Every structure is written in structure tokens, then in C-alpha cells.
Amino acid sequence: MKKQHKISLSLLAAAAVVAGCASTGTTTSSADLDKKTAAVVKSSFRDQGIVKTSVLDTDETLKACSAADVAGKPLDEKTAKAIEATNLKTIKWPADGKYLGNWKEGEKLAQSGRGLTWTDKADTPNGANCYNCHQISKEEISFGTIGPSLYNYGKIRGVTDPNSPASKEVVMYTWGKIWNSKAYNACSNMPRAGHMGILTEAQVADVVALLLDPKSPVNQ
């Protein structure tokens, strides 16, 4: 999320530069401005290590949300629902049908914000960086407040047995939200952890376990 935010700021700055250049009396279409902005931004970056300039590429979801942000107003309901439906189709559900992994590994992931920088190796596991935006357990006193508190996440939702049929909807929602948050909130600030390859399928399962396993400190 931090990287996407920095990239968005770079795009906005570049857009301001391009717009300034375009205000000399000539008329430039929005599409042309977008292309010029992208060119200006990409000219300031280079491939280094595992980080490639392709991280600057945006899909239709990010383009729509960025445009709404620049305009200073939320997406209309029809567009938002269409974006959510598109992203919902990208969710990869667990191949073995097991949504919960090891909550202890999930806690390690929640604590870790490393990964995806040019100094990292391609085979270095990324962290989930959950505490950067959420309170998760009472033991952790350092956490962000961008996102809602997730303390007692499973307990509040009545999940006493994640494998029971009664809990299936909550379990699937939790998996889907971590995999691709924009399937449930079109312009969510939460990273699309599974969809963007930040977390592996096994790691997503571990984070789901952290949130839903009754033995996890989250639900104590």
C-alpha cells in the first residue's frame, strides 16, 4: 500500500507538470494527458533488482479509483459495483479447499512489512504488514489505524469452529478480502495481497487462520 501511495503521488505530480505544459493554449485530451503523464513518470524510474518499472502499470480498477480521487468524489454506485464484480472473478480460492493455515505463521506475517524492494531477493517471502493499518491483538501495542481494528475478528462474528458450515460465509469472505480487497470495496486502500502476488496461497491461509482460529491471540 505504501508503494502504491507513493506511485500515486508521483503520478499526480507528473500530471500537474504535464497539465501545466498543456495550458499554453493548445487543447489536449484526457487520454493524451494520461499517456504523457505515464511517460514522464516512467522516465524517472528504472528496473533495479526484483523491482521493475512495470509496477507503474495500472489496471482499469486503479485508473478509475485514481480518477475519482483526483476529482474529489467517490465512484458512482454502478461503476463501483462493476469494478467489484470484475475483481471478485479474480479471487483464487484454495485448491485443496482448506482456508485456514497456521495462525502462528500468520502472526509472523502480520508483524512483517518486508519485501518487494530492490534489495530483496526474488525468493524472499514477503510480509503481510497487517499491523501497519490494523490493531490485531492486545499483545501488540504498535499498530496503524488506517483500517479498522481486527481484534476479536472471529469471535465477534461468532466463528467458534471455522470448519463448520455455519462459518463458511465468514471464512470465504475473509479469504476473498485478503486475496483481493477491491472485490468487496472498489477503491479499498487495502493491498490486493493475493491478486498482486504479495502473498502466496499458503500465506493467505495463514493470515486467515490468524483472524479466525479460536486459539489465535486475535480471538482471546
Would you say residue 35 has pLDDT above 50?
yes
Nearest CA to 186 among 100, 52, 82, 102?
A: 82
Q: What is the pLDDT of residues 155-182, one digit of tens each?
A: 999 999 999 999 999 999 999 999 999 9
Cα separation, 16 vs 37, whole angstroms: 9
pLDDT of residue 20: 52
| 128 has a pLDDT exceeding 60 | yes
Is 162:154 a contact under the CB 8 Å cutoff?
yes
- In this structure, the dihedral spanned by the alpha carbons of residues 40, 114, 136 and 5, taken in order and rounded to 10 degrees, is -10
C-alpha grid cell, residue 199: 502473498
Degrees, nearest 5: CA angle 176-182-188:
120
pLDDT at 134: 97
Domains and CATH numbers, the chain: 2-83 (no CATH), 103-219 (1.10.760.10)
Residue 5 pLDDT: 45
Read off the pLDDT of residues 149-159 as tens digits, 9 standing for 90 and up.
Answer: 999 999 999 99
